[in-house]
């Protein structure tokens, strides 16, 4: 029996003249794995970051800013050294690789100094920014390993520029969990707005939501009923669109309340902002699932289930907002109003699909 062919090595033996680069790539991968390891466990009960009793925000952000600038500078030095012949000596490669490795380790180390009690939303954003820089360094190093030494290539310019941009974006990171949560909710609001506009556009296209994406021959000269809404489908579109509008309104109100009254003075307030940001993160995918299920051919049971999922997320977010510090008693009147809007539209969906369960 013939022997099975061996799988190709994803990282073949490097050019011995560039062995330092291969070592740098492996070191950067280890650093990246350490950062990503926090994505599943770090935000939980026993996660890293420690307590924030001695945390100095000013010193932390100054150190992080310096680390991002150093990472950009070291990546630039490395790229320029491999932009033209002759190949840097092994000693020079070692010095350059050491500079990049030290910059990446410094970024990771400073990130881990940000305590959990500063907020998981803030920590997640700082970690993601750090991960983006390290990923860019890995991409640049792999490119230098694979590319023949010549004049600065377009690919090398793009890769180096990617590291610069990732480092530059760090200056716009939120500085506390209130700003981080508001930034997150704002991004989810934009996604929901896009989904609503897509839904409205589809309904405005004379009953044929695929008119601009399918050729006539693909649907039998528009004779395929699977690309049209039935009358029963059309009746469902109204309350489904109403739920999406309610989702947009909920996110707008939560965002406005966060910006106006959100604060991080206590651990409870920090945790409340995290809870709201986490629930807001569930709204956009729930909206997407509902909108997609309204496209023909419509499975009305799927529409009902997706509508119920979205309604549940919205009601939960509204309840947490109502009991949180961003919604003091005189300001909470919008919560029952929006909860009623969610219930009203969900009730209509249930009424129109009551024979399906």
Separation between Cα atoms, residue 183 and residue 175, nearest integer Å: 11
Alpha carbons within 13 angstroms on the beta-carbon side of residue 164 total 11
| In a shared domain, residues 222 and 320 | yes
Nearest in space to 306 (alpha carbons), one of 195, 208, 142 = 195
Provide the pLDDT confidence category of residue 45 given band limits of 50, 70 and 90.
very low
Can you give the C-alpha Rg of the chain in angstroms? 26
Any domain includes 11:
no
What sections of the chain are H helices per DSSP? 19-36, 38-41, 57-81, 90-111, 120-146, 154-169, 177-204, 231-261, 267-293, 300-322, 334-352
Backbone angles phi, psi at 22, to 5 degrees: -65, -40
The tally of domains found in the chain comes to 2
Last residue of a domain, one of 172, 187, 203: 172
Q: For residue 305, is it within any domain?
A: yes
Q: Give the range of the structural domain holding residue 260, as residue numbers without chain letter.
A: 177-356
Top mean-pLDDT range of 70-84, 88-102, 119-133: 119-133
* 173 Rama sector, left if φ>0, alpha if ψ -120 to 50, beta otherwise: beta
192 and 92 in a common domain: no
Range with lowest mean pLDDT among 54-68, 145-159, 263-277? 145-159
CATH number at residue 100: 1.20.1420.10
Residues 254 and 141 in one domain: no
Number of neighbours of residue 250 by Cβ within 10 angstroms: 27
**Digit-coded pLDDT (tens) for 320-338:** 999 999 999 877 899 999 9
DSSP, collapsed to helix, strand or coil, labels residue 184 as helix
Counted residue by residue, the chain has a size of 357
Do 232 and 87 belong together in one domain? Answer: no
Residue 83 is predicted with a pLDDT of: 85
- Backbone angle region of 220, left / alpha / beta, with phi > 0 → left and psi within -120 to 50 → alpha: left
Residue that is last in its domain, among 172, 198, 230: 172
Alpha-carbon span 202 to 285, nearest angstrom: 19
User: Model confidence over 290-308: pLDDT tens digits?
Assistant: 999 999 999 999 999 999 9
Q: What string of DSSP letters covers 278-341?
A: HHHHHHHHHHHHHHHHTSSSP-HHHHHHHHHHHHHHHHHHHHHHHTSTTS-GGGTTHHHHHHHH
CA distance 133 to 128: 9
Instruction: Write phi, then psi, for 289 (nearest 5 degrees).
Output: -65, -40
């Amino acid at each position: 029996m013939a022997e099975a062919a061996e799988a190709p090595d994803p990282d073949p033996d490097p050019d011995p003249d560039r062995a330092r680069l291969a070592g740098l790539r492996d070191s950067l991968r280890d650093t990246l794995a350490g950062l990503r390891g926090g994505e599943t466990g770090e935000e939980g009960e026993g996660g890293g970051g420690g307590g924030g009793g001695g945390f100095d925000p000013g010193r932390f952000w100054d150190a992080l800013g310096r680390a991002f600038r150093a990472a950009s500078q070291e990546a630039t030095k490395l790229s320029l050294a491999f932009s033209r012949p002759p190949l840097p000596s092994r000693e020079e490669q070692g010095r350059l690789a050491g500079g990049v490795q030290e910059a990446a380790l410094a970024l990771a180390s400073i990130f881990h100094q940000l305590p959990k009690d500063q907020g998981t939303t803030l920590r997640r954003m700082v970690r993601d920014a750090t991960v983006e820089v390290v990923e860019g360094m890995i991409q640049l190093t792999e490119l230098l390993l694979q590319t023949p030494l010549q004049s600065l290539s377009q690919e090398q310019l793009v890769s180096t520029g990617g590291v610069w941009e990732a480092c530059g974006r760090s200056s716009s990171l939120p500085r506390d969990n209130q700003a981080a949560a508001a930034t997150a909710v704002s991004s989810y609001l934009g996604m929901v707005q896009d989904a609503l506009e897509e839904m409205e556009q589809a309904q405005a296209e004379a009953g044929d939501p695929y008119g601009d994406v399918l050729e006539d021959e693909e649907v039998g000269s528009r004779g395929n009923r699977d690309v049209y809404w039935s009358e029963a489908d059309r009746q469902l579109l109204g309350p489904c669109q109403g739920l999406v509008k309610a989702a947009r309104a909920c996110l707008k109100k939560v965002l406005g309340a966060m910006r106006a009254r959100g604060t991080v003075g206590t651990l409870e307030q920090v945790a409340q902002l995290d809870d709201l940001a986490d629930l807001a993160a569930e709204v956009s995918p729930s909206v997407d699932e509902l909108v997609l299920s309204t496209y023909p051919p419509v499975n009305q049971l799927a529409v009902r289930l997706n509508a119920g999922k979205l309604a549940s997320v919205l009601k939960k977010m509204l309840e947490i907002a109502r009991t949180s510090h961003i919604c003091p008693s005189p300001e909470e009147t919008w919560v029952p109003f929006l909860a009623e809007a969610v219930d009203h539209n969900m009730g209509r969906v249930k009424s129109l699909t009551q024979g399906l369960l």
